[in-house]
Structure 1
């Protein structure tokens, strides 16, 4: 099973009537219950234990309002880093420290609340520096006033940890959401690549196979009135090509198709001969790596298909060779068929092959030949099929003509 098919294969869903819930980042409402830390200050106001209760009440209302506003802005990326968010945070800090210094006691708990709000807004180096400075200031205020039930250092510690944990949880949640989005994008990209591979393989397979079948059918029709045995031989070839095409299509669908350059050269000779074109194949150099052979095999198949269809040639030469760092396949003909001049590489099939070779570090060029006709030249980085076996032997390790 291919990677894309694995990604999109169906999975068992929830039972009927069940709601599928996907965990996501916490929302701003999850931070609102922390306002209950201010109940102690509200109790002091209610019981009349706070001097100037109207000032304390207005400060409590203003702090809570700013807290809600800052927390909601902290969960919106576009508004989080705005100047307004920082202004609200500064105003909130001024009120928190004013209430803590003025009333102390339970009012010191507004400093951890302020730190929590800072954790929703601040990021990066500003977060660490801000929380450390805030914790030190909170400890200093608690030590100065010294009338809270807890030790002064616990106020500083609580102030630091409130902002740090909040920022860490929100950052982690945002990262998880980004990873989910990236995974979905990778899945879509894999599906697109699989579709592209499948369409290219079908184009190369069916284009070549149908061309061979048509040419051999025409040859069988011409030979039938004069040489029945030769016509039947062409029909046998048609059957063999059809069966092979079925096998290759199945392999292309499952994603395990491998192309042999030697096999493609033999098929090319057969197709050219049936079309009345003289095939000439030259091959030199050591064996190529399977991946290189597969890509050059695709090029040979597509180029010969174009020769049979469009060239009107009488002779086609296929040359396979290699240099110390490159493997090359050249297909030339002496035809006068039409040539696509819309770009450096003509035809849908050759364009797709050019993309494949470019992805492998190679190149594909096509155009009119120097002596007429049409020429296709494919080059790929050379890789030994068997490491070290041909070391030092160069391109003379194997040579010969078909």
Structure 2
């Protein structure tokens, strides 16, 4: 819905009634034939002009069109029956047309009215200069009003579109943020659960080893807190090297044999963060869902593969983590592929 302040209000059209001053002056000062009917017609003209504009801005289009038709009839009655100096009323008539008629129809109507004005003025013996000025004023008045109102309408639509896009961007960012937290906390909590199980197993027979595992849980928890804070401020990932180190530890402690084949290389920060997220998400799925005994992580050029011999994510589908990872890959111009043949394979390709 358009706001009142997004286009000129009807009050902007009423000062143009000053164009009716010459006819009013003639009625008071000059000899005008049939002064009574002329006065009534001029009063009707003013009322119909005001009514056409007011109804148009109140979105009562049918009533406004009927009022405009009556205004056109009264205008030509005035111009055919009274003084030649009253032709400025034609400009008021076309201004009302520009306010009432919408779309391409306004050009057809203005062309017809302009042609009728030329014919009428030529028949009354008006000079070429008067005809040119009147036609110019009438045609320009209607066109300018129509174009300005259309322009303000388009501006209002663009503003609404921009606001809608802003709302969509906020919603998308909230979704991205929630998936980031899911990825981050899912991985961290998986590691903490594995270490807690190790503490439970070691506590009866090796208190010192259990204490070390408990200390690791504290370290992981503190690191998770730091990472959550970093995520809130726009953090995207710790990078491939850090995630590989964490993956080795987490997989080993979960009793899963891990093979890492990742050459040392420098890459763009965005790509490094994406591959880090891929390792985090892939290893989290291996630990939590796969039941795997072995996992291989391999980087070949622009392709990262995480392959295990387990059953994959299971019946839950890709889940929020893989969906979020796929969105990040697409945003960077890459792809995410998964395969459940011969274990579970996660492949991320970056440009």
TM-score by length of 2: 0.81
Match of 2:172 in 1: 193
Q: Of 39, 42, 56, which residue of structure 2 is paired with 1:60?
A: 42
Structure 1 position 170 matched with structure 2 position 149 = yes
TM-aligned CA deviation for residue 91 of structure 1: 5.3
Deviations along 1:244-289, one digit per CA (max 9) or x if unpaired, are: 2222212211114343112111111111111111111122595443
TM-aligned CA deviation for residue 58 of structure 1: 5.4
Q: Is the 8 A contact 1:104 1:142 kept in 2?
A: no
Whole-Å separation in 2 of the counterparts to 1:23 and 1:86: 24
TM-aligned CA deviation for residue 43 of structure 1: 5.3
TM-aligned CA deviation for residue 56 of structure 1: 3.5
Normalized per residue, which structure has more helix? 2
Q: Of 296, 306, 311, which residue of structure 1 is paired with 2:290?
A: 311
SS of alignment partner, residue 330 of structure 1: strand
Provide the aligned length of Structure 1 versus Structure 2.
Answer: 348
Whole-Å separation in 2 of the counterparts to 1:209 and 1:258: 13
Structure 1 position 379 matched with structure 2 position 351 = no
Superposed counterparts of 1:315-330, under 5 Å: 315-322=294-301, 327-330=302-305
Q: Is the 8 A contact 1:285 1:321 kept in 2?
A: no
TM-aligned CA deviation for residue 368 of structure 1: 2.4
Whole-Å separation in 2 of the counterparts to 1:220 and 1:78: 77
TM-aligned CA deviation for residue 189 of structure 1: 2.1
Q: Of 195, 201, 209, which residue of structure 2 is paired with 1:230?
A: 209
Whole-Å separation in 2 of the counterparts to 1:340 and 1:34: 73
Match of 1:25 in 2: 7
TM-aligned CA deviation for residue 90 of structure 1: 5.5
Match of 1:398 in 2: none
Superposed counterparts of 1:75-94, under 5 Å: 75=57, 79=61, 89=68, 92-94=71-73
TM-aligned CA deviation for residue 223 of structure 1: 2.4
Match of 1:34 in 2: 16
Q: Is the 8 A contact 1:104 1:145 kept in 2?
A: no
Deviations along 1:277-322, one digit per CA (max 9) or x if unpaired, are: 1111122595443322322221221221122122222212222223
Whole-Å separation in 1 of the counterparts to 2:58 and 2:39: 29
Whole-Å separation in 2 of the counterparts to 1:228 and 1:142: 111
Task: Name whichever of 212-221 and 53-62 sits farther off.
Answer: 53-62
CA RMSD of aligned residues (A): 3.6
Please list every run of 5 or more consecutive structure 2 residues that lacks an aligned counterpart in the other structure: none
